[in-house]
Structure 1
């Protein structure tokens, strides 16, 4: 392709030159705020929304609250529900934004972070740590609570790096090969998990089952503090690549002619996916379909401009995960359903509809 042809590429495949209106962001932001308020208010110990809003109003120094929280309500709100909501917002936003970025990178609306082997690698690391709990406990001391999340993160990173290495050759990253390598790595990780479960005790099997299906039940301020750094870093890394992702929609050669270092972009995005998804799985377990459905549906509704799509995916992913967690806590109260299983139940029909729409197109 000549230089003149490359310069004319945006004219034939236009990429928006300015941001659209802020209407969708405002709507999605208000929806997230309402779901977060419902998540804080609803539960075995009900907390009136007016008391929550009044406490926030008073804490900001804008006046006295007309409804005050009882000690039990305050303890439940601040110790259990608020860190759970914060962790849910961060994890949902990262999963959906990562999915949007990978779908643009691979130019396929049916790609999701788990296809790189990240989620299954994290699961294998966590299961290994659970099964080896007695052996590890003697060496980690006070850091025992971080063993499973740490092992999950290292497993996610190792699996993603292996898929990236297998998909690279001749100094370049072949994205179809990376996906195929990710599928192979996932299969190997799940096979390893199957073998490890035979060595697990009954108590460990219950832990493995609940953890592998995903839950926000382990949220605490310590978990939020440990998870927020990699999750926020991932969001920052992905949001700053919106222009490059727009150009990647034109094709790798066209994007290179327009100033994008395609190989470095591929590696940055895949490693950012490992950082974000690995951290999410490390603290919440495997939560499927959020990274697939949210960006795919938003791309249909809002168009392909990633300056709009990435932010909308973050807000929508957070809303979807919080709403799913609210249902998981209330549908079978006082017990709790695994939120990852619930998002999969909700996601399968939508995924079939996406496949049917893509086939019809």
Structure 2
């Protein structure tokens, strides 16, 4: 019998020993902090469903950036809420659009901060879908190939504004290839693509849709986002993005799909990104506000779980809090 010769608790006897044999670590460099920017001045509006997360106008955004940089967080993900929406989301690819202006300002203030630009149309279309919509007697259809042209234009405009990474989140077939071609032809062949490779049609996006003002005006996104029941399909989606030139592979949401994170980690050598999405954040915040959980312990355990599953980077609204807690340890 192995016991008492083998005693696993020997390596747990002290904090020093536990630190020495810890298999997975998490640090501030692992975090990407989302920022929501909108038109106007003097705006700092907390989102009711996401305590601690705000809409910022470009002038007040400097407060958020200073805090992020001061905590040592090295990357931000930019979402824009435009003043004007139309059927094709034209403000998404305007050189003077809200996202493009935000990127330019960030790079002027903090040139070393890595700026990731979310590349999609849903916040910019009046129908709230991630592509061009064609209607007929049979109903409405989100048209794939016509949408690719607009997504490529959006990516190029974001790169021209100074984005370090393009992050397409639309789940149109061929979106990585179209964006890669558009970037290369525009002279941005060195701009990497962080593909939302495996994006599920999830109930965990509810608070985000309030934040981004991107709720679909009809139907849902199940014809282009993935069925939560499918894991093998996730590998097919990721493989396609690898073949089309993606530089990062993302799984969204993270918490209910850690098995998929692990599957991608085991199969691909590219950096794997986990998106710790809005409802995952809001549930923790709500429970913590009721005194039901230890917020710090829960958040750090959740984030380390994502790293243990195989994520190299984590997009999370907890980034600032987690950075503070890690400094205190």
TM class by shorter chain equals: under 0.3
Larger Rg: 1
Query: TM-score, normalised to structure 2's length?
Result: 0.26
Q: Higher strand share goes to which structure?
A: 2
